[in-house]
Structure 1
C-alpha cells in the first residue's frame, strides 16, 4: 500500500482501499492503528501528529476522523460534518 498523497489521491478512496487491505490481510483490530500510521507516509503522519498534539490518539476511529476532517474534499462534507 502506497503512502497517502493528498495532491494525487482522494482521502475517501484511499481510506476505502486501506480498509480493504487491512481486511484482506486479516490485520487484528489491535494492530490497525499501527498499520494505518505506517502506511500513510511521513508527510501525512507529520500532519496528523501536529493536529493531534501533544500525542496521537490511540483509537483508530479517532485517527480516521482526524484524517477525514483534514483530507476529505470540502464539497463532499455535509452540514452535520462541521
Structure 2
C-alpha cells in the first residue's frame, strides 16, 4: 500500500516546481521582449509598460519561491 501522505507531498512539490518553471519562463520571455524593444528604440511609454509587466512577473516568481521555501520548511 502506498504512503498517501508522501504521495500528496510529492504531488504538491511537483505542482510548485511546475509553477516555478512557468514563472521563470514568463519572466525570461518578458526580459527578452524588453531588450528587443529597447534595441528597436520603441517609444518610452511602451518600454515603461513592458517594465511594469516584468516587475509583476518578478513578483510572481518571488511568491512561488516563497511557497517552495515554506513547503520545504514544513516537511523538513
Q: Same fold (TM over 0.5)?
A: no
RCO greater where, 1 or 2, for CA within 8 Å and sep 6 or more?
2
TM-score of the superposition, structure 1-length normalised? 0.35
Larger Cα-atom Rg? 2
Q: Give 1 or 2: higher helix fraction.
A: 2
TM-score of the superposition, structure 2-length normalised? 0.37
